[in-house]
A and B are shown apart, each in its own frame.
Chain A
Amino acid sequence: MFHTYLIKYGEIGIKGNNRHVFEDALAKQVRLKLAQISGDFEIRKERGRIYVECSGDWDEEETVSALSCVFGIVGICPVHTYELAGIDELRRDIVAYVAEEHPGSKESFKVKARRVNKEYPLDSMQIDAQLGEAILEAYPQMHVDVHHPEILFDLEIRDRVYMYSKVLPGPGGMPVGSNGSAMLCLSGGIDSPVAGWMTAKRGVKIDAVYFHAPPYTSERAKQKVVDLARAISKYTGPIRLHVVNFTDIQLAIYDTCPHEELTVIMRRYMMRIAEHFAEKDGDLGIVTGESIGQVASQTMQSLLVTNAAVRLPVYRPLVCFDKSEIVDVAKRIETYETSILPYEDCCTIFVARHPVTKPLLEVIERSEAKLKGKIEELLEKAIYTTETFTVKPE
């Protein structure tokens, strides 16, 4: 039985002088994540690796599934530890290890020991040879392949002996919080939660803003967005969610501007409000789930016009994704089922029959100019009445 996990991380390992910043961020995220599940966990940073020691009422499946939500982890290795002893004991240990972790195996293998503790009497090569021989003696149906082994036995000789041969995949990416924060425009659809998840994967902390339009959108539509935020918070950590009442702004646009421009103008105001909250929350960018050409408001021309409404950079992680690719990710991160619940969101309420697909910035700005004098007050009111709360993983 094992009770230790070795956490492998990829990109962080190659960082230069600020490497410890990323490692600390990862250790922190691992700690926060494991605090949500039952069991006692000790997280140790040691010579460029992170170990998780598990004790108390912990469950293997639950622990692995929690760790596999922590960005920055590329591999989770269940590690068996043994007392540091002579080579004969070590030979017995590895035979027992194979019996437990690879019973009945006929696969090829290789032993790769690292002697960190230089006082150990045998060097790495000698340990490899000894242990390989022990396995072959005990399990003659297995064979050695040093180039492409099916099983790689990793050993580290430290104050204890660490042995592992399995690497469970982690989500990759970088630890959340190691790369600033951004404001996610979260709708009830399939795309935006995926965009948030992808951005967080690059180490970005996520805040979010949702626009609702009562009575045109229901409480359930809002609850759906909270549920989506909760679903991705499993990966991103707690999300500050701003719920903006957008009805009056929408109606004003409807009353004043050409109807085929409604969606584009509406999105520009959404971006402005998102930027307001981004700046307030100290975010360095805005994230949307837009993808080129998906709908009229996401053509290159429309994106240009929407983009021009704000100064902050707008990150669009899905910009070149096909819908089916987005759906695949949404299913994997378990937001899809919630996203397809049939409640109106405010983008689907006021849709012109033939919206512009190639808006011109000057034309849109001219239409928007007609809102001057009344829109300022509505924006202020929307911001003032915004409901802000933190959504945490369940």
Chain B
Amino acid sequence: MREIYFDNSSTTRPSEAVLETVIRTMTEDYGNPSSLHSKGVDAERCLREARKKIAATLKAGEKEIIFTSGGTESNNMAILGAALAGRRRGRRILCTSMEHPAVSEVCKFLQKEGFETEQIPVDSRGRLDLAALEEMLSGDVIAVSTMYVNNEIGAVVPVQEAAELIHAKAPGAIYHVDAIQAYGKYRIYPKQLGIDLLSASGHKLHGPKGSGFLYVSKDVRIVPILYGGGQQDGMRSGTENVPGACGLGVAAEEAYRNFDEKISHLYRLKEALEEGLARLEDVVLHSPSGREGAPHIVNASFLGVGSEVLLHALEDRGIFISAGSACSTHKRSASPTLTAIAAPKDEVTSSVRFSFCESNTLDEVTTTLAALEELLPALRRYGPLRRS
């Protein structure tokens, strides 16, 4: 059975070039970048190359890239670091109501520590309420964090407009963008957009797991959260994960090679799936259609079919997707995004996410649609008795 992997927003398969780099940095350039001998110098050079590659994709300076262990650490470092740096100036921190837990949980922690965290509302399609943001902004806001692309439904936040508002109405506030689902899918130039901090993760773009970075504009100061040997200019102590960072460097470079072509391809896949789903009955789309949303994410509810049931039924046919929400009979936290966009309960319990990468094909979309068409009637027949 051929494998169709449509869960690229969860993680991606590392590319050949990434693999080669990781292996090389583990077998040949295995030195500690801080060591004084040539092994160390070689490792440091590799790290520097990776940093350069990433900086180039962002039109940023090398020194503005800090390697981390991934998206969660980048988000933690950004928000905790900004909160600590700004705590004498104010206590208010804003984020959207549809953040990933790696942001929302940090805010929850800060709330307990005496900060005031507030949520900027989004509408039923995940569009940020800019007017509400404007209203919430004032001089005592020390940090604002928004996603770039929502991980569940692919809604896109207008970061440039948000940045303009933030810098105008809350001068001194640090603007952090969680770009974990966006980096590699959009050309993001933080300086032009007015972004101060930007988080990205390696394994979402065919890089290694355990790799990521935080872009920190040279114009802002955040307080480090890890202390030790003072690596990376004291911003992130700990021996650098050279294989991870170098793999990420290669992945970043690859992501922006033939960029427009790849993005068009992703949109073709997305549109094909959307068209196919539109022909099926009782399907509700949560992802913004076509170019209104991210190129790689389609989120749909197949009413009357539990997310997990559909997931396993497709898995049986070698098609891997993600469940928008967990099973219905046991308590598991509901999807934060679908809750934020106020989706009805039957849509929440039946929502699944398809997410593409550039090596997926139209053929795979067609096969998936055919499988859905065949499976849904049977699965629905046994659906209505499910406890809700």
Which residues of A pack against B, CB within 8 Å? 214-219, 251, 254, 259, 262, 342-344, 348-353
Q: B379 — nearest CB in chain A belongs to which residue?
A: A215
Interface residues of B in 319-375 (CB under 8 A from A): 326-327, 329-332
Query: Cβ of B312 and Cβ of A216 under 8 Å apart?
Result: yes
Contact of B308 among A218, A262, A351 (CB under 8 A): A218
Query: Cβ of B316 and Cβ of A215 under 8 Å apart?
Result: yes
8 other contacts beyond A214-B312, A214-B316, with CB at 8 A cut-off? A215-B309, A215-B310, A215-B312, A215-B315, A215-B316, A216-B309, A262-B385, A342-B330
Residues on A with C-beta less than 8 A from B331 are 342
Query: Cβ of B382 and Cβ of A254 under 8 Å apart?
Result: yes
Which residues of B pack against A, CB within 8 Å? 308-313, 315-316, 326-327, 329-332, 379, 382, 385-387
Separation of A219 and B313 alpha carbons in the complex (Å)? 12
Residues on B with C-beta less than 8 A from A349 are 329, 386
Query: Cβ of A348 and Cβ of B387 under 8 Å apart?
Result: yes
Residues on A with C-beta less than 8 A from B327 are 342-344
Query: Cβ of B308 and Cβ of A344 under 8 Å apart?
Result: yes
Separation of A218 and B326 alpha carbons in the complex (Å)? 12
Main secondary structure of the interface of B (DSSP, over half): loop
Residues on A with C-beta less than 8 A from B313 are 215
Residues on A with C-beta less than 8 A from B311 are 215
Given A343-B327, A344-B327, A348-B329, the answer on whether A218 and B312 have CB atoms closer than 8 Å is yes
How far apart are B30's CB and chain A's nearest CB, in angstroms? Answer: 34
Separation of A275 and B356 alpha carbons in the complex (Å)? 48
Given A342-B330, A342-B331, A343-B327, the answer on whether A350 and B385 have CB atoms closer than 8 Å is yes
Contact of A344 among B315, B330, B385 (CB under 8 A): B330
Separation of A342 and B330 alpha carbons in the complex (Å)? 5
How far apart are B22's CB and chain A's nearest CB, in angstroms? Answer: 29
Given A214-B312, A215-B315, A344-B308, the answer on whether A350 and B330 have CB atoms closer than 8 Å is no
How far apart are A310's CB and chain B's nearest CB, in angstroms? Answer: 26
Residues on B with C-beta less than 8 A from A348 are 329-330, 387
Question: Which of A216, A254, A343 has the most CB atoms of chain B within a 10 A radius of its CB?
Answer: A216
Residues on B with C-beta less than 8 A from A343 are 327, 330
How far apart are B379's CB and chain A's nearest CB, in angstroms? Answer: 8
Query: Cβ of B382 and Cβ of A342 under 8 Å apart?
Result: no
Query: Cβ of B326 and Cβ of A342 under 8 Å apart?
Result: yes
Question: Which of A218, A254, A262, A344 has the most CB atoms of chain B within a 10 A radius of its CB?
Answer: A344
How far apart are A291's CB and chain B's nearest CB, in angstroms? Answer: 20
Query: Cβ of B329 and Cβ of A259 under 8 Å apart?
Result: no
Residues on B with C-beta less than 8 A from A214 are 312, 316
Separation of A259 and B381 alpha carbons in the complex (Å)? 13
Separation of A348 and B308 alpha carbons in the complex (Å)? 14
Separation of A219 and B316 alpha carbons in the complex (Å)? 11
Separation of A352 and B388 alpha carbons in the complex (Å)? 11
How far apart are B267's CB and chain A's nearest CB, in angstroms? Answer: 30
Query: Which 5 A-B residue pairs are closest in the complex by CB-CB distance?
Result: A215-B312, A342-B330, A215-B313, A348-B329, A344-B327
Query: Cβ of B316 and Cβ of A351 under 8 Å apart?
Result: no
Contact of A259 among B310, B315, B316, B385 (CB under 8 A): B385
Separation of A302 and B309 alpha carbons in the complex (Å)? 29
Contact of B382 among A217, A219, A350, A352 (CB under 8 A): A350
Query: Cβ of A251 and Cβ of B382 under 8 Å apart?
Result: yes
How far apart are B179's CB and chain A's nearest CB, in angstroms? Answer: 31
Separation of A350 and B385 alpha carbons in the complex (Å)? 6
Contact of B387 among A218, A254, A262, A351 (CB under 8 A): A351
Residues on A with C-beta less than 8 A from B386 are 349-351
Q: A255 — nearest CB in chain B belongs to which residue?
A: B381
How far apart are B378's CB and chain A's nearest CB, in angstroms? Answer: 8
Query: Cβ of A342 and Cβ of B308 under 8 Å apart?
Result: no
The contact sample of 10 A-B pairs, CB cut-off 8 A, is: A214-B316, A215-B316, A259-B385, A343-B327, A344-B327, A349-B386, A350-B382, A350-B386, A351-B387, A352-B385
Query: Cβ of B330 and Cβ of A351 under 8 Å apart?
Result: no
Given A342-B327, A342-B330, A344-B329, the answer on whether A351 and B385 have CB atoms closer than 8 Å is yes
Residues on A with C-beta less than 8 A from B315 are 215
Residues on B with C-beta less than 8 A from A344 are 308, 327, 329-330
Residues on A with C-beta less than 8 A from B316 are 214-215
Q: A216 — nearest CB in chain B belongs to which residue?
A: B309
Separation of A60 and B332 alpha carbons in the complex (Å)? 41
How far apart are A221's CB and chain B's nearest CB, in angstroms? Answer: 9
